[in-house]
Chain A
């Protein structure tokens, strides 16, 4: 039996006016039919930093993350506010396709298209009206370099993306996202299907990418959260329990539930 913790006792940091934020949610609630999967999430994400979302499986991390770029549309009911550049993008009138070009997403399982490596990157660009060949080529190189994949694939851009290894496929998915030049990048356990060496590569890539993008990464791997993130949010049964700088979260967790989770003596 899972130990009972009070959902009242939380420690969620806020940021002062001076911190520029990439995104922010207020009272975010998510329902899958009658299943209330996310309660009152109030989180703010500073620009050009990596924020990690941690917590046990089923605690609502993916549910929360997918709400941020409206990927839960048609799957779940999301209420509350999602602020992005002073616009509440949870409004039904918002152009979700436009939003998703600004807020990119990388999924748990690498999901490159069954197309060539080049076509993986240019397909969506072209669909959005970028037709100039030279410019497309430039984006291919830039995004593959950004995802630290260029050197490995520069001679085989016309090969099927499915012929790449899992780690390469995941970096291709990252490249595909950043080719859209988003400003926020959402990653849902991007390394859970990868071997340790590929994981290190993806992590290095993320550390490099935070100079240009604001990154929110879900991970069930606490070492990973500790290695890459600046702040960390801990989710428990659909509640955000603690949100603190990563150093604090791992050395000095504020509330019993986080203490137990970090110590591995959970439930």
Chain B
């Protein structure tokens, strides 16, 4: 076979593979949206759920999902940023570093249901926090940290060595170089990583069933004091998320329109994730342009 033919064949095969992947994605999205969207209404989006049958709106669950996401990110982004910077810039190539790396690898391969059960035993039972937003957020942090850390480390390491040398040769400390010069360049990659992990967190159910709980007590959306038991911001209240709700409606829902309910909730979940991706991507590009002064 000559080079030209090989090239042609490879191109065809690669295009077919790409088309398959895109096709599956489009099919999935279209299927979920078409079967779910007709049942989505304003009252569905904002209404409350009947605690017994699972019928009714998903307002509280939608809020819970976002709140849990924000809380998880508030905890896990700073930690993984620190860990990522440490691994990319400070860690020496020795047994301790490889131990840390293996630990991260193991943590990232733990099934999320195991992480959830661990969170249940430790926070809910042992520390007596109960099913709560904070228990869920910590469980999700465990599940989020390894991927985020690795992503941040890789984004930082991908920035050319010559940028580091430039910083150091001007008498900047390692830390200043990393924060002021390397991080801005790595930012779009980091933001993309955060977005991807946010999508996973948003859609996660298994780790939350036994930590954030399966009930969404009606909360008072007029009360934003996180200390009040009825406040939506109270981190110690149980908080069923949208993904958990979908799982619950499907497994133990007693409503006669359970299939429609879960289809509609799935469509909302998908749209939220898509919007979130898009928004954060725009934000990443905007930040990049701001810090690098590029057009």
Contact = CB atoms under 8 A, between A and B. Distances in A.
B284 to A, nearest CB: 14
Contact of B170 (A109, A114, A124, A161): A124
Nearest to A159: B293
A105 interface: yes
A115 B293 contact: yes
A203 to B, nearest CB: 21
Interface in B179-198: 180-181, 184-185
Given A123-B181, A158-B293, A163-B294, A111 B172 contact: no
Contact of A173 (B166, B185, B293): B166
A161 B171 CA distance: 20
A229 interface: no
A112 to B, nearest CB: 8
Interface string B277-289: 0000000000000
Contact of A160 (B162, B169, B293): B293
Contact of A180 (B165, B171, B291): B171
Given A111-B160, A160-B295, A124 B172 contact: yes
Contact of B169 (A69, A109, A116, A127): A69
B162 A111 contact: yes
A114 B185 contact: yes
A47 interface: no
B60 to A, nearest CB: 44
A100 B176 CA distance: 14
B292 interface: yes
Contacts of B163: 111, 113-114
Contact of A127 (B165, B168, B172, B293): B172
A113 B170 CA distance: 12
Interface residues of A, number: 32
Contacts of B170: 100-101, 104, 124, 176-177, 180
Q: Which among B166, B169, B176, B293 has the greatest number of chain A C-beta atoms within 10 A? A: B169
Nearest to B179: A127
Interface in B149-177: 160, 162-163, 165-173, 176
Given A107-B165, A160-B294, A113 B181 contact: yes
A116 B167 CA distance: 15
Given A114-B185, A115-B184, A123-B180, A109 B294 contact: no
A130 interface: no
A46 to B, nearest CB: 23
A105 B164 CA distance: 13
A25 B294 CA distance: 42
Contact of A100 (B160, B169, B181, B291): B169
A69 B169 CA distance: 8
Interface in A66-125: 69, 71, 97-101, 104-105, 107, 109, 111-116, 119, 123-124
B293 A116 contact: yes
B171 to A, nearest CB: 4
Nearest to B288: A114
Nearest to B291: A115
6 closest Cβ pairs, A-B complex: A116-B293, A101-B171, A124-B170, A111-B162, A105-B169, A100-B171
11 contacts: A107-B162, A111-B160, A113-B166, A113-B167, A113-B181, A123-B180, A123-B181, A127-B172, A128-B171, A158-B293, A180-B171
Given A71-B168, A100-B171, A114-B294, 17 more contacts: A97-B172, A100-B170, A101-B170, A104-B170, A107-B166, A111-B162, A111-B166, A114-B291, A115-B184, A116-B293, A158-B293, A159-B293, A160-B293, A160-B294, A162-B294, A163-B295, A176-B166
